[in-house]
Homo-oligomer: A and B are copies of this chain.
Amino acid sequence: MPDEKIKKVSIVISKGSLEGVYPGLIMANGARMEGIEANLFFTFFGLEAIIKKKMNKLKVATVGNPAMHIPSLLGILPGMSAFATKMMKKEMEKLDIPPVGEFIEMIHDAGGKIYACKATVEMFHLTKDDFCEQVDDIIHVGKFYEVSAGGEIIFT
Contact = CB atoms under 8 A, between A and B. Distances in A.
User: Within the oligomer, what is the number of copies of this chain?
Assistant: 3
Given A6-B145, A61-B64, A23 B14 contact: yes
A146 B151 CA distance: 14
Given A6-B149, A97-B119, A142 B34 contact: yes
A95 B122 CA distance: 8
A140 B33 CA distance: 11
A28 to B, nearest CB: 9
B72 A77 contact: yes
Interface residues on A, range: 35 or more
A98 interface: no
A27 B141 contact: yes
Contacts of A64: 61, 63-65
Interface stretch (A41-49, A103-111, A128-136): A41-49
A80 B71 CA distance: 11
Contacts of A16: 65-67
Contacts of A45: 19, 65, 67-68
Interface of A: 2-6, 8-9, 12, 14-19, 22-23, 26-27, 29-31, 33-34, 36, 43-45, 48, 58-68, 71-73, 75-78, 80-81, 88, 91-92, 94-95, 97, 119, 122-124, 140-142, 144-146, 148-156
Sorted nearest first, the 10 A-B pairs with minimum C-beta distance are A64-B64, A16-B67, A3-B150, A30-B141, A45-B67, A59-B66, A3-B149, A72-B76, A34-B142, A152-B153
